Amino acid sequence: MEVLKDYKLHLIAFLVVIICELIGKQFIWIIAVFPMLYAMIFGGIISLPKLKILTNKNMQNASLVMMVTLILLVAKLGLAVGPKIDMILKDAKLALIFQELGHFAGTILLGLPLAMLLGMKREAVGATYSVAREPNIAIVADKYGLDSPEGRGVMAMYICGTLYGAIWMSILASLIAQLNILHPYALAMGAGVGSGSMMAASLAPISALYPELSENINAYATTANLMSGMVGIYIYTLFSLPFASFMYDTLARLRRNK
C-alpha cells in the first residue's frame, strides 16, 4: 500500500488539480489551453529535482498512479462509444479502417526522412516506427533488444512522448482545427493515436471549437483509438517495424549513392 499511502504526492496532486480547474480554459493567441495542460506544467515544475520537493520515490509513485488515472479516463471515453457505435459501424466503417493506415504509416512517412536528414542512424527505425508507447517498447525489445540502436531510438521517443507528447498534440490539434479545412469527425479520428493522454489532449480543443458536435467527436475519436489499440500490436509487429526498417535501408542507399 506504499503508493496509496504517499500522502504528500496525493495532496500536491489534489492542490494542483483544484488550482488548475479554478484558472479554467484560457487562450494564448489562437491556441486554446486547458487546465490539464497547466496541471502537467505545474506538476513538472514541482517535480524538478533542483527544487527537492519530491523524492525519486514520490515520482515513481506518481507515474504508477498516472497509469491508474488513465484507466478512469479510458472508462469515461469508452462511454461515448456505446450510444454511437451502431451509427459509426454503419456509416463510417471504411473510414475507421482506412484512417488506421494514416496512423500507422504517418509516423514513418513524416518522421523517418527527417530523422535521416538530421543524420540519425538505425536509431531512426525505433524512433519513428510508432508513437513509442509501452507496447511499442516491448515489440522493439523483443526483436532488437533495448541495447540496440533501435532500442535506444524507441526509448528516447518514449521519454519525449512522456514529457511533451500531450502538450504538443493539444497545440497541433488546436491549430489544425482552427484552419477549418478538415471536418471535426476527421480530426477526431486523427486524434485516436493509441495513447489515452495524447488523444484526450488533442480532443479538448476540437470539442471546444464544435461544442454541439462534442458527443460525436468523442465517439469517433474513441472508436478510432480502440481500433488502434486492438489491431496495433499486430500491425506494429508485422507491418510498421519491418516497413520502417525497409524505408531506412532504401533511404540509406540513396544517401550513399549521392
Partner 1 sequence: MKILETIFVLILVAIIMAAGNSMGYKIDIISSLEALAVLVVISIVGFLLSKLPGLKKFPVILWVSVVAAVASSPIFPYHKELVAITDQVSLLAVCTPVLAYAGLAIGKDLALFKNISWRIIPVSLAVFSGTFIFAALIAQVTLHWEGVI
Restricting to residues 92-131, which ones interact with partner 1 according to CB under 8 A?
92-95, 98-111, 114-115, 118-120, 124, 127-128, 131
Among the listed residues 165, 174, 247, 248, the single contact to partner 1 using CB under 8 A = 165
Binders of partner 1 in range 206-245 (CB under 8 A): 207, 218, 222, 224-226, 229-230, 233
d(CA 68, CA 192): 20
Contacts of 62 (CB under 8 A, 6+ apart): 9, 13, 43, 47, 54
Among the listed residues 32, 193, 235, 241, the single contact to partner 1 using CB under 8 A = 193
Going by C-alpha positions, the residue among 81, 102, 101, 73 that lies closest to residue 195 is 73
C-alpha neighbours within 13 Å on the C-beta side of residue 59: 12
Q: Which residue, 50 or 256, is less far from partner 1 as judged by CB?
A: 50
Among the listed residues 32, 203, 241, 247, the single contact to partner 1 using CB under 8 A = 203
Query: The C-alpha cell of 187 is what?
Result: 480530426
Q: Which residue, 121 or 253, is less far from partner 1 as judged by CB?
A: 121
Q: Which residue, 94 or 257, is less far from partner 1 as judged by CB?
A: 94
- Window 51-70: contact mask with partner 1 (x via CB under 8 A): ---x-x-xxx-xxxxx-xxx
Cβ-in-10-Å burial (0-12, 13-18, 19+) of 211 comes to exposed
